[in-house]
Amino acid sequence: MSVTVRIPTQLRPLSGGDSEVTVDGTTVAETLKALEAVHPGFADRLFDEKGKLRRFVNVFVTDEDIRFLEGIDTPVADGTTVSIVPAVAGG
């Protein structure tokens, strides 16, 4: 399944400056693993030492936050867009 991953500005150096990368995957986990295989360094930035998605990293499938779906096991269909969105804090 071909999935488009939208890369935030802060992580674009890892993708060679690309704002979108197309990889194969049937779940968010497979998609992010494929992203790491094509552009090493993403796993360290997205996952903690226990393999859990870092709390300041939000991932959306289309426009739905995966935390309200099936987490990283959320299925993705061919042509789906997965967006990596860093949390924004401030006041």
Domain annotation for the chain: domains and CATH numbers: 2-86 (3.10.20.30)
Q: What is the pLDDT of residue 90?
A: 58
Mean pLDDT by 10 residues, the chain (91 residues): 95 97 97 97 95 93 96 96 86 57
pLDDT at 28: 97
Predicted model pTM:
0.92
| Residues 79, 85 contacting (CB under 8 angstroms) | no
For residues 76 and 82, what is the distance between their CA atoms, to the nearest angstrom? 8
The helix (H) or strand (E) run that includes residue 61 is strand 57-61
